[in-house]
Amino acid sequence: MWILFDFIFMHGLSYILFKIFQHFNIEHRFLDNISFNMTRSLICGSISYYSYKNYNRLFDDKCLTNEKFSNELIHYHHQFLNYFIYDIFVMIYQVYKKINKNIRSDLLIHHILAIFVLHLIDSHKMYNLSLIIGLSEGMSIVSGLKLLTHKLGLKKYTNMFVSFRLFYLIGIRLLFLWPSLVLFYYDITNHCDKFKKNKNISLLILFLGIIILNEMKWIKSGFKELKRI
């Protein structure tokens, strides 16, 4: 039921944004890159904002003994998961409709890994980890704006948005978020009885290694893009 509601909401949001850009003669195909990346920006913005707003609550209830908070995280977790599923669906649709020639392999790997990790979190009921991971989506807040300003020839603003993504990748994700995730995971799997039996720090490091390798490519691509602007 959650996935159906979330798909309808995200698809409806994509359609509304498409109609707005169609009105201003910026786009002429549904689920084209600018309007859909604006959808990404709004969804990722809401995901990261919820994480930011509730981040401190993680430390008040590390073992998820508060049923109300736990239920909130379960709902948030499934919305997060459904976003990645919908995003892959759209990427396939864009290739099918020849909006894009190919699916971005880096983004596809990222999304598939994210879906796999979120399913693991679901099976082990570690929904507090989803909240931490949700902060990582803050870098996508400017995805749609970057494409829009590039389309309109507003190089100064495009430069700002590319710089923001680089700052978020390096300053937030690499230097703060992923180390915090490792420390938090180590903490809850050592002190929470219901999480101890599922402790697998090696698997966590493996997943983070794959993510960081992907992010290094994004950082390199971002600096190249700044030189071209």
Cβ proximity of 115 and 84 under 8 Å: yes
Q: What distance in Å separates the CA atoms of residue 127 and residue 124, rounded to the nearest whole number?
A: 8
pLDDT, tens only, 86-118: 999 999 999 999 999 999 999 999 999 999 999
Instruction: Give the CA count within 13 Å in the CB-facing half-sphere of 17.
Output: 22
Cβ proximity of 62 and 187 under 8 Å: yes
Q: What distance in Å separates the CA atoms of residue 138 and residue 113, rounded to the nearest whole number?
A: 18
Predicted local distance difference test score (pLDDT) of residue 227 = 85
DSSP reduced 3-state for 30: coil
Q: What distance in Å separates the CA atoms of residue 18 and residue 95, rounded to the nearest whole number?
A: 18
Predicted local distance difference test score (pLDDT) of residue 1 = 65
Q: What distance in Å separates the CA atoms of residue 113 and residue 61, rounded to the nearest whole number?
A: 27
Q: What is the pTM of this model?
A: 0.94
Amino acid at 119: H
Indicate if the alpha-carbon torsion angle 222, 76, 110, 172 is positive or negative: positive
Residue 120 belongs to domain spanning:
2-228
How many distinct structural domains can be found in the chain?
Answer: 1
Where the chain has pLDDT below 70, the residues are: 1
Length of the chain measured in residues: 229
Cβ proximity of 49 and 135 under 8 Å: no
Closest CA to 165 of 112, 226, 79: 226
Alpha-carbon separation of residue 10 from 44, 53, 108, 136, 220 (angstroms): 11, 22, 19, 20, 31
Predicted local distance difference test score (pLDDT) of residue 41 = 97
Indicate if the alpha-carbon torsion angle 26, 29, 32, 36 is positive or negative: positive
Q: What distance in Å separates the CA atoms of residue 90 and residue 11, rounded to the nearest whole number?
A: 9
Closest CA to 9 of 79, 73, 65: 79
